[in-house]
Amino acid sequence: MQTTRPDSANATDGEIRARDRSLAFRAAVAQGLVPREQPVVGLLDVTGIIRSAAALRAAFATPGVEVTHTFAVKAAALVPVLRLLRDAGIGCEVASPGELALARAAQVPAALIVLDSPAKTPDELSRALALGVAVNADNAQELDRLDAAVAARPTASPLGVRVNPQIGGGSIGAMSTATATSKFGVPLRDPGAERWLLDAYAARPWLTRLHCHVGSQGCPLELMAAGVRAVHDLAERVNAAAGRRQVDTLDIGGGLPVDFGSDEDSPAFADYADLLRAHVPALFDGRYGIVTEFGRSLLAKNGSLLARVEYAKSAGGRRIAVTHAGAQVATRTVFAPDAWPLRVVALDGTGHPKDGDPVEQDVAGPCCFAGDVVAHARPLPPLDRGDLVALLDTGAYYFSTHFSYNALPRPGVHGYTVDPDGAVRFATVRAPQTPRELTAECGGGWADSLSALTGG
Q: CA 364, CA 320: separation in Å to the nearest integer?
A: 7
Q: CA 262, CA 284: separation in Å to the nearest integer?
A: 31
Which residue in 223, 287, 294 sits closest to 254, CA to CA?
Answer: 294
Cα distances from 205 to residues 149, 158, 159, 209, 230, in angstroms, run 15, 11, 10, 11, 21
Q: CA 51, CA 297: separation in Å to the nearest integer?
A: 12
Q: What phi and psi values does residue 246 have, to the nearest 5 degrees?
A: -75, -55
Q: Which residues contact 446 (CB under 8 A, 6 or more apart)?
A: none
Active site residues per annotation: 368
Q: Which residues contact 294 (CB under 8 A, 6 or more apart)?
A: 56, 69, 71, 72, 254, 255, 256, 269
For 116-265, strand residue ranges (E) read 134-137, 159-164, 186-187, 207-211, 249-251
CB neighbourhood size of 338 (10 A)? 8
Which residue in 7, 106, 24, 28 sits closest to 308, CA to CA?
Answer: 28
| Beta-ladder partners of 113 | 92
Asked whether the CA dihedral 272, 60, 89, 159 is positive or negative, the reply is negative
SS3 (DSSP) at 95: coil
383 touches 321 (CB < 8 A): yes
SS3 (DSSP) at 62: coil
The burial of 97, by beta-carbon neighbours within 10 Å (0-12 exposed, 13-18 middle, 19 or more buried), is given as middle
Residues of 153-170 as b/e, b for ≥16 C-beta within 10 angstroms? eebebbbbbbbbbbbbbb
Cis check for the bond before 381: say yes or no (omega within 30 of 0).
no
Q: CA 338, CA 360: separation in Å to the nearest integer?
A: 17
Identify the H or E element spanning 92: strand 91-94
115 touches 134 (CB < 8 A): yes
